Structure 1
Amino acid sequence: MSTIRVLIVEDDPIIGEDIHDMLTNVDYSVVAVAYSKAEAIDYINDEQPDLVLLDINLDGNYEGFEVAAHINKTRRVPFLYLTSYSGKEILERAKPTMPMGYIVKPFNEKELYSNIEVALYNFSKFVLPVSLKIEMINSKINTPLTQREFEILEGLYEGKTNRQLAESQFVSVNTVKTHIKNIYEKMNTHTRSETIALVHTLLH
């Protein structure tokens, strides 16, 4: 799967479906909608999403913070909080968990998309080495990437969608998908987040 794979964690089924519809209108793939902390953790472990949209208030408790703690301990995945709370106390609890964004409900599609794009870009700069060189990558893998594949890999790091990659490379979306498939094969990975995590490991 070469699209950006998103897990929605939201205990209100109606809101969860609304977000699902917003994301599938554009170049994102929803792996699941989790309605509880336990479901969220299971999906994070099993599905390895590229991004998590995380409701803070699950089942009347602030269990979103516990899901965030699990993400920070086990996986390098960006997440954004979705919440009805904008008070100082909740913000102070949220900040140490290092979210890539904080979206206050209600929000519209434009707000959601722009927050996701900024989150993915900031995460790439927060996690990745400042200087990503094709020679460094190719010296660590058995089958070297081509220059075009490396440029696509850089775009994946910046959180670009397939459509954005196609526009920046002046090629079709299908061509981008082919390049991503080749990258996965050469790096023995299966998802964007897995590929990002591997490169981070290789360069440290």
Structure 2
Amino acid sequence: MLHILLIEDELIIAKDLKMTLEKQKFSKVDVSKNEEEAITFFTSNTYDIIITDINLNSKKDGIEIISHFNTIKKIPVVYLTAYSDDDIIKRAEATSPFAYILKPFNESQLKATINLALLNFKKRDQASKGLIDNSDKIALLTKREKQVLVTLSNGNSSKEIAEVLNISNQTVEKHKQNIREKLNLRTVAEMINFTMTSRLYKLK
């Protein structure tokens, strides 16, 4: 069962959302109506996702509250809003939300958005961990081996790599062999995939 923190100052909407989200044991929902209550809940519990109204009758609006939470721990966020104002959306984007829901909304839309936000957060988290792992592996490579990988990822053959880097074809093959052994890669496709997913091509 999901554990959701809902930040909503309109009592009727908050009750309706809580009832909808707890239906059929989809989730357990804690409701806060302002910044102080939200902080107390957030620091005392572990949540799978936060749903917050952007416009709150509080010292800080939903965007400012999430900005603060992001300095503590990042979890997926879905914003509720009755407006599609460009300035509001731009401010909200700075907090890296995973979805917006415009009021009014229905139950199926709400749950689908939550599930999508959770899925996208998981994918981003896995990708981030993958980059960290690859960073450790990149440290094993020499500067020349990195150059060979980057040139290889551009679709160049060993002969072309040799010409670009002004080294012999035999030296290129030796570097490629060293790369395979250090990174436990077997094929050219795996080497190219490593280069792209680790963003090695952006490193100087």
Q: TM-score, normalised by structure 2?
A: 0.59
Whether contact under 8 Å (1:41, 1:70) holds in the other structure is no
Identify the match of residue 112 of structure 2 among 91, 111, 114: 114
- The structure with higher relative contact order (CA 8 Å, sep 6+) is 1
1:22-171 to structure 2, matched below 5 A, reads 22-59=20-57, 63-129=61-127
Whether contact under 8 Å (2:8, 2:33) holds in the other structure is yes
Tell me which residue corresponds to 1:185: none
Over the aligned positions, Cα root-mean-square deviation in angstroms equals: 1.9
Q: Matched residue of 1:25: which SS?
A: helix
Q: Matched residue of 1:21: which SS?
A: helix
For structure 2, the 5+ residue unaligned runs are: 131-204
Compared CA separation, residues 5 and 60, structure 1 to 2 (3 A): closer
Shift of 1:37: 1.1
For structure 1, the 5+ residue unaligned runs are: 133-204
The amino acid across from 2:119 in the alignment is Y
Q: What is the CA–CA distance in structure 2 between the aligned matches of 1:62 and 1:93, rounded to whole Å?
A: 13
- Residue identity over aligned pairs, in percent, reads 36
Listed one character per residue, the Cα deviations across residues 63-114 of structure 1 (whole Å, up to 9, x for unaligned) are: 1112111221101211100111111111111111101111111100011011
Q: What is the CA–CA distance in structure 1 between the aligned matches of 2:99 and 2:59, rounded to whole Å?
A: 20
Structure with higher Rg: it is: 2
Whether contact under 8 Å (2:35, 2:60) holds in the other structure is no
Whether contact under 8 Å (1:5, 1:50) holds in the other structure is yes
Shift of 1:62: 5.6
Tell me which residue corresponds to 2:145: none
Q: Matched residue of 2:71: which SS?
A: helix
Identify the match of residue 19 of structure 2 among 21, 24, 34: 21
Whether contact under 8 Å (1:31, 1:47) holds in the other structure is no
The amino acid across from 1:6 in the alignment is I
The amino acid across from 2:122 in the alignment is S
Q: What is the CA–CA distance in structure 1 between the aligned matches of 2:129 and 2:50, rounded to whole Å?
A: 26
Q: TM-score, normalised by structure 1?
A: 0.59
Whether contact under 8 Å (1:78, 1:99) holds in the other structure is yes
Q: Matched residue of 1:14: which SS?
A: helix
The amino acid across from 2:83 in the alignment is Y
